[in-house]
């Protein structure tokens, strides 16, 4: 991604994958260091194990690009006190990563600590829309009616916007959901651009993939560009 604020540029690297990891990738998980492999071995449920591996697979690719590192195993991704990912590298610091996964989709965004960001991705499941409906306000319902998408797509997209903001401010969904209430949604360009009532310093850039919605939250006054044609099934 290309990020610009005035005359200043910030690096950021996005990795998206729809791959169901092959046995060669999961067996030994060569992109994991010893500590990460040890944790992965404790995951007894295959679905949870695959989600962990797919998330780390994307995170290590994004971080290697950001850090100009050829060996993903020297990068460690630990958990902070709020379960947020914390990046460790033997030679470089002040880099962060946001990770999201849903079914076959994995995603990760590597960015500098000085430029907070967050990402979320969700597979569109019409059967889940009634749950999301209970978590949106009347104003948000009116905003959604402006989007030229089916209801399940609109609701899933809104959900990813809120999840991405919660990761940006490092609270996760432990904060009451109405705190993340949207103020505007504009679907005029390649992205759906959203702003927030209580977090006016941020915006969300959302786009649709083959069967999923993805949102990236960044500072409102940052100009961000992303070539959607290079993304899988965009």
Give the mean pLDDT per block of 10 residues along the chain (234 residues): 93 87 56 90 88 93 96 94 93 96 94 97 94 93 95 96 96 84 92 97 96 97 85 66
Single residue among 81, 114, 147 that ends a domain in this structure: 114
Domain of residue 130, CATH code: 3.90.470.20
CA atoms of 160 and 154, how far apart (whole Å)? 10
Residue 155: phi and psi, rounded to 5, are -65, -40
Q: Which domain holds residue 71?
A: 1-114
The three-class DSSP label of residue 225 is strand
The answer to whether residues 126 and 175 belong to one domain is: yes
Query: What radius of gyration do the chain's Cα atoms show?
Result: 17
Give the torsion sign (CA, 124, 129, 135, 139). positive
The answer to whether residues 109 and 124 belong to one domain is: no
The answer to whether residues 92 and 150 belong to one domain is: no
* Domain membership flag for residue 233: no
Residue 221: phi and psi, rounded to 5, are -90, 10
| 185 sits in which H/E element | strand 182-186
Single residue among 75, 91, 114 that ends a domain in this structure: 114
The answer to whether residues 85 and 15 belong to one domain is: yes
* Domain membership flag for residue 234: no
pLDDT tens by residue, 185-211 = 999 888 999 999 999 999 999 999 989
| Tokens found for residue 135 | 């978590």
* Domain membership flag for residue 177: yes
The answer to whether residues 81 and 139 belong to one domain is: no
pLDDT at position 82 is: 87
pLDDT at position 67 is: 97
The answer to whether residues 53 and 153 belong to one domain is: no
Give me the number of domains the chain comprises. Answer: 2
Single residue among 98, 114, 130 that ends a domain in this structure: 114
The answer to whether residues 124 and 205 belong to one domain is: yes
Query: In the chain, what is the straight-line distance between the N-terminal and C-terminal CA atoms, in Å?
Result: 15
Provide the total of helices (H) and of strands (E) in the chain, helices listed first: 6, 13
* Domain membership flag for residue 232: no
The answer to whether residues 106 and 2 belong to one domain is: yes
The answer to whether residues 169 and 123 belong to one domain is: yes
- pTM for the complete prediction? 0.93
CA atoms of 221 and 223, how far apart (whole Å)? 6
The answer to whether residues 106 and 144 belong to one domain is: no
| 132 sits in which H/E element | helix 129-133
* Domain membership flag for residue 157: yes
Distances (CA, A) of 44 to 17, 39, 50, 84, 101: 23, 11, 11, 22, 18
The answer to whether residues 145 and 184 belong to one domain is: yes
pLDDT at position 174 is: 77
* Domain membership flag for residue 231: no
Strand partners, 217: 118, 204
The answer to whether residues 93 and 139 belong to one domain is: no
pLDDT at position 221 is: 96
């Amino acid at each position: 991604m290309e990020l610009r604020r005035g005359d200043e540029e910030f690096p950021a690297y996005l990795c998206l994958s729809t791959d169901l990891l092959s046995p060669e990738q999961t067996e030994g998980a060569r992109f994991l260091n010893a500590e990460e492999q040890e944790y992965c071995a404790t995951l007894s449920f295959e679905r949870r194990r695959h989600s962990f591996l797919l998330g780390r697979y994307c995170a290590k690719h994004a971080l290697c690009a950001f850090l100009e590192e050829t060996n993903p195993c020297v990068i460690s991704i630990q958990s902070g006190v709020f379960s947020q990912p914390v990046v460790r590298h033997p030679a470089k610091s002040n880099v962060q990563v946001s990770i999201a996964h849903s079914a076959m989709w994995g995603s990760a965004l590597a960015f500098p600590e000085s430029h907070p960001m967050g990402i979320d991705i969700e597979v569109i499941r019409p059967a889940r829309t009634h749950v999301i409906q209970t978590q949106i306000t009347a104003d948000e319902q009116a905003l959604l009616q402006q989007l030229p998408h089916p209801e399940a797509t609109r609701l899933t997209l809104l959900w990813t916007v809120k999840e991405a903001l919660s990761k940006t401010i490092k609270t996760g969904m432990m904060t009451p959901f109405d705190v993340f209430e949207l103020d505007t949604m504009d679907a005029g360009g390649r992205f759906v651009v959203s702003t927030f009532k209580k977090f006016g310093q941020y915006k969300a850039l959302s786009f649709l993939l083959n069967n999923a919605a993805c949102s990236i939250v960044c500072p409102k006054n940052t100009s961000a560009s992303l070539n959607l044609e290079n993304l899988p099934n965009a």
